[in-house]
Amino acid sequence: MNTVRIVGGEFRRRQLRFPDSEGLRPTPDRVRETLFNWLGQDLAGQHCLDLFAGSGALGFEAASRGAARVVMVEKTPRVLAALHENHELLHKPAAVEIVRGDALQYLVSTKAKFDLIFLDPPYQAGWIGRLEGLLPPALNEDAAIYVEAEHEIASLGDWRTVRQGKAGEVHFHLLRRPA
C-alpha cells in the first residue's frame, strides 16, 4: 500500500493508505498546501465533490478543514475499499459520503449542488472535455472548480482559471465564474 498524509485541519498528519491502480496519482502535499492557501484554510459550510476520489487526499483534506459535506466518487473496487478503510481510520467523519460509481453517471444523476468540485481524472483519456457540459447543473452560482491535468486549462464553460501552478508534469488550476 502507498501512503499520503493530510496536510491541514482536524486530521493533519494522518496517513491515508491506497493501493496501486492505473492512473492513480495522489495530489502532492505541496500542491494541496497551495490549493488550500488559495481557497482559505477553513471550508466550514462548503459542499464539496471529489469526482475522481482515488486516494481520497483532496476529499479528506476538505473534510479535515471543516467542509459540511464531501462526496467522493470512485469506481475502482480496490481503490473504493481503501477509501472506506481511510474513512474508518478517521473515525467516520459524518461529512464524508463515499459513492461507488462513474463520474459521468454521477453528474448526470445528482440533484445536489456543490460549492467546490475537485477534478483530477486519469490523464490522456479526454475526461475534462466530457465533463465540461455536465458540471454547471451541479455547481452553485459562486462555486469553484479545482482541476489537475496534463496541460494548461484556461476555462471550463463559464468558469475561468484564476490561479494556476505546475508541479512536475502536473498543471493545477483553480477556476471561478467571473462576477
> The domain that contains 57 carries what CATH number?
3.40.50.150
Half-sphere exposure of 36 (CA within 13 A, CB side): 26
Tens-level pLDDT at each residue, the chain (179 residues): 788 899 999 999 999 988 878 777 778 788 999 999 999 889 999 999 999 999 999 999 999 999 999 999 999 999 999 999 999 999 999 999 999 999 999 999 999 999 999 999 988 888 999 999 999 999 999 999 999 999 999 999 999 999 999 998 889 999 999 98
Whole-structure pTM value: 0.94
The parent domain of residue 71 ranges over 2-176
Chain-centre distance for alpha carbon 108: 18
User: Nearest Cα to 170, choosing from 8, 19, 32?
Assistant: 32
Q: How far apart are CA 47 and CA 43, in angstroms?
A: 9
Q: How many domains does the chain have?
A: 1
List the end-to-end C-alpha distance of the chain, in Å, as a whole number.
44
